[in-house]
């Protein structure tokens, strides 16, 4: 399986502050990669550099063999990399189907704003694509509901459905279960991952919930202090003592429980 994404010696500094350093990662096509780390560990900086929202200070990023280092986000999106954000980026006053058709029309439009404005929202091809996406993400029954009235989980599904309107080959998800109840998060991720696998999309997702990471990731990158401290299968990373101490907190909890038992 060939690599769709190759990152080498990536670094990002803000003056004297090093936000990311010494990051070298290769991701095969169709793999699902979980990204974990405490706040400020470098996860978002890493994602922002891949998607063009930040230019690296050093290093290189290659997508499907093409050097995309430092390209603007719009150009990177056109090349086949998309993302969703922690807070769903939808048009709240518009219906679900209107949101989807706008996303599809923008994705189908050319580089100029005029071309995008002239792309018909109700074109047969656009309508067919959006209807298929709503079925794929199991939100077709909400098609005529305004986005502002949607349950949080449905709004998340709509946001991710809109992110793949341009048929990306690589999708980056920022905390897809954030704000979702414990009872709903696994079902939501089942829908999302099933839809993305159906479309053969490579996925990198940032997530704080270790249960979600353990269940849905093929591989996990653990970030600490701006760099990757572990890169293996989920079971290996989540059992790593350094990851448990610095990120998941399970080692600290275990040690605390033991020390309490000794004191008694």
pLDDT tens digits for range 112-136: 444 445 455 555 566 778 889 999 9
Average pLDDT over all residues of the chain:
88
Integer Cα distance of 208 and 111 in angstroms? 36
Q: Which two tokens stand for residue 139?
A: 């939100």
Q: For 173-196, how does the pLDDT look when each residue is reduced to its tens digit (9 = 90+)?
A: 999 998 898 889 999 999 999 999
Each residue of 195-236: pLDDT tens digit? Answer: 999 999 999 999 999 999 999 999 999 999 999 999 999 999
pTM, to two decimals: 0.86
Q: Residue 179's pLDDT is what?
A: 87
Q: Are residues 98 and 71 in the same domain?
A: no
74 shares its domain with 175:
yes
Is there a single domain that holds both residue 18 and residue 127?
no
Q: Which of 44-53, 120-129, 154-163, 237-246 has the lowest mean pLDDT?
A: 120-129
Residue 171 and residue 59 share a domain: yes
- Within this chain, do residues 155 and 171 fall inside the same structural domain, yes or no? no
Number of domains the chain contains: 2
Q: Please give the Cα distance from 166 to 130 (Å, whole number).
A: 11
Looking at residue 125, its pLDDT comes to 61
Taking residues 253-258, report their average pLDDT.
41
Question: What is the rounded CA–CA span in Å between residue 239 and residue 28?
Answer: 24
Q: Which of 163, 180, 205 is the last residue of a domain?
A: 163
Which of 65-69, 75-79, 138-142, 259-263 has the lowest average pLDDT? 259-263
Length of the chain (residues): 264
Do 8 and 129 lie in a common domain? no
pLDDT of residue 259: 38
Model confidence at 86, in pLDDT bands (50, 70, 90)? confident
Q: What is the pLDDT of residue 13?
A: 96
Q: What is the mean pLDDT of residues 41-48?
A: 95
pLDDT recorded at residue 123: 59
pLDDT at 20: 96
Pairing between β-strand 66-67 and β-strand 58-63 as defined by DSSP bridges: antiparallel
Residue 128 lies in domain: 89-163
């Amino acid at each position: 399986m060939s690599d769709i994404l190759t990152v080498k010696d990536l670094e990002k500094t803000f003056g004297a502050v090093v936000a990311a350093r010494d990051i070298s990662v290769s991701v095969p096509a169709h793999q699902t990669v979980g990204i974990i780390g405490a706040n400020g560990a470098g996860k978002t900086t890493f994602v922002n550099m891949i998607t063009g929202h930040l230019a690296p200070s050093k290093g290189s990023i290659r997508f499907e063999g093409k050097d995309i280092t430092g390209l603007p986000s719009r150009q990177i999106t056109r090349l086949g990399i998309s993302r969703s954000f922690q807070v769903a980026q939808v048009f709240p006053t518009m219906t679900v189907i209107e949101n989807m058709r706008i996303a599809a029309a923008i994705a189908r439009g050319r580089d100029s704003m005029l071309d995008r404005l002239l792309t018909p929202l109700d074109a047969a091809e656009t309508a067919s694509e959006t209807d298929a996406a709503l079925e794929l993400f199991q939100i077709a029954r909400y098609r005529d509901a305004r986005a502002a009235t949607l349950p949080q989980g449905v709004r998340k599904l709509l946001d991710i459905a809109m992110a793949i309107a341009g048929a990306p080959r690589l999708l980056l998800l920022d905390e897809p279960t954030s704000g979702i109840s414990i009872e709903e998060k696994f079902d939501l991720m089942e829908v999302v991952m099933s839809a993305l696998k159906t479309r053969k999309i490579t996925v990198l997702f940032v997530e704080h919930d270790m249960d979600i990471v353990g269940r849905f990731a093929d591989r996990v990158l653990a970030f600490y202090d701006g760099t990757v401290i572990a890169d293996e299968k989920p079971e290996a990373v989540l059992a790593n003592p350094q990851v448990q101490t610095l990120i998941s907190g399970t080692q600290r909890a275990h040690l605390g429980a033991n020390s309490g038992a000794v004191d008694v």
